[in-house]
């Protein structure tokens, strides 16, 4: 399996994530994290877009 391959398990995991969880993963994932690479990263980015991206409230609450 390719590191960023979108498996059914990863799709289910992402589908269960809240808007805030997706933003947190997008901002803080370590380099090479399979949730933000390849097909899986593309799917995560699409879900983030569906939620409307980062809101200022989420961004401020997450910090850096």
Q: Give domain status of residue 3, yes or no.
A: no
Angle made by CA atoms 53, 13, 63, in degrees to the nearest 5: 40
State how many domains the chain has. Answer: 1
Q: Give domain status of residue 13, yes or no.
A: yes
Per the CB < 8 A criterion, the answer to whether 14 and 8 are in contact is: no
Answer whether residue 24 shows pLDDT above 90: yes
The residue among 38, 45, 46 whose CA lies nearest residue 7 is 38
Answer whether residue 35 shows pLDDT above 60: yes
Q: Could you give the percent of the chain with pLDDT greater than 70?
A: 97
Per the CB < 8 A criterion, the answer to whether 21 and 62 are in contact is: no
In which domain, by residue range, is 28 found?
Answer: 8-62
Per the CB < 8 A criterion, the answer to whether 36 and 29 are in contact is: yes
pLDDT of residue 2: 63
C-alpha 20: how far from chain center: 10
Q: Give domain status of residue 1, yes or no.
A: no
Q: Give domain status of residue 14, yes or no.
A: yes
Residue 57: which pLDDT band, with cuts at 50, 70 and 90? very high
């Amino acid at each position: 399996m390719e590191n960023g391959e979108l498996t059914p398990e990863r799709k289910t995991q992402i589908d269960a994530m809240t808007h805030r969880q997706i933003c947190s993963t997008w901002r803080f994932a370590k380099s090479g994290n399979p949730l933000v690479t390849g097909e899986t990263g593309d799917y995560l980015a699409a879900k983030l877009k569906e939620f409307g991206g980062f809101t200022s409230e989420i961004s401020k609450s997450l910090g850096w």
